[in-house]
Amino acid sequence: MTTSTRHIISLLMENESGALSRVAGLFSARGYNIESLTVAPTEDPTLSRMTIVTSGSDEVIEQIIKQLNKLIDVVKVLDLNDGKFIERELMLVKVKATGTFREEMKRMCDIFRGRIIDVADGSFTIELTGSGTKLDAFIESLDKSAILETVRTGASGIGRGDRILKV
């Protein structure tokens, strides 16, 4: 058995009710990991695009791809890790912004190229995009007691250059 690695799997599926639960059900029924899962309709409203972040040995990833392909609603599957790709995730963080925290937060936000999108008396809301590791790093670098709330979208991914996932 090879060691477990993180994979980003992109797929196009029929934009039909129940399609999402088929994918989610497959992962739970077969005991595959899901780190994150995002889904939204594409420019063609009959199709949805899903990005799943999972991890497993090469054998497990191969099975995941095959099992996804087997679902009748799934039109196309691509393991982004098979080539070059870009990964982005959006995070909104509400932080304490009182006293010295106010300057500190602005500075941290700048360093990570985030944006403050809401300002209130005692708090800022910061918007940050990037890879999962970058978002993790941002959280790490904040004083835990300053974090009031976080929300992350989960990763979206796309192949580089002419690696295109389309019907």
Residues at the interface with other proteins (CB under 8 A): 13-14, 17-18, 21-22, 25, 29, 59, 62-63, 66-67, 69-70, 72-75, 167
The Cβ of residue 108 has, within 10 Å, a number of other Cβ atoms equal to: 19
Smaller CB distance to other proteins: residue 29 or 120?
A: 29
Residue 36 tokens read as 């994150």
We find the least distance from the C-beta atom of residue 23 to other proteins, in angstroms, to be: 11
Residue 92 to residue 122: CA distance in whole angstroms: 16
We find the least distance from the C-beta atom of residue 56 to other proteins, in angstroms, to be: 13
We find the least distance from the C-beta atom of residue 14 to other proteins, in angstroms, to be: 6
- The sign of the dihedral angle between the CA atoms of 129, 130, 131, 135 is negative
- State the DSSP H helix or E strand holding residue 6, giving kind and residue range, or none if neither: strand 5-14
Amino acid at 77: V
We find the least distance from the C-beta atom of residue 74 to other proteins, in angstroms, to be: 6
Amino acid at 160: R
We find the least distance from the C-beta atom of residue 149 to other proteins, in angstroms, to be: 32
Smaller CB distance to other proteins: residue 14 or 35?
A: 14
Smaller CB distance to other proteins: residue 18 or 99?
A: 18
Residue 4 to residue 129: CA distance in whole angstroms: 26
Helix axes 19-29, 58-70, angle to 10 degrees: 150
- Our CA dihedral for 140, 125, 40, 24, rounded to 10 degrees, sits at 40
Smaller CB distance to other proteins: residue 75 or 91?
A: 75
Smaller CB distance to other proteins: residue 74 or 93?
A: 74
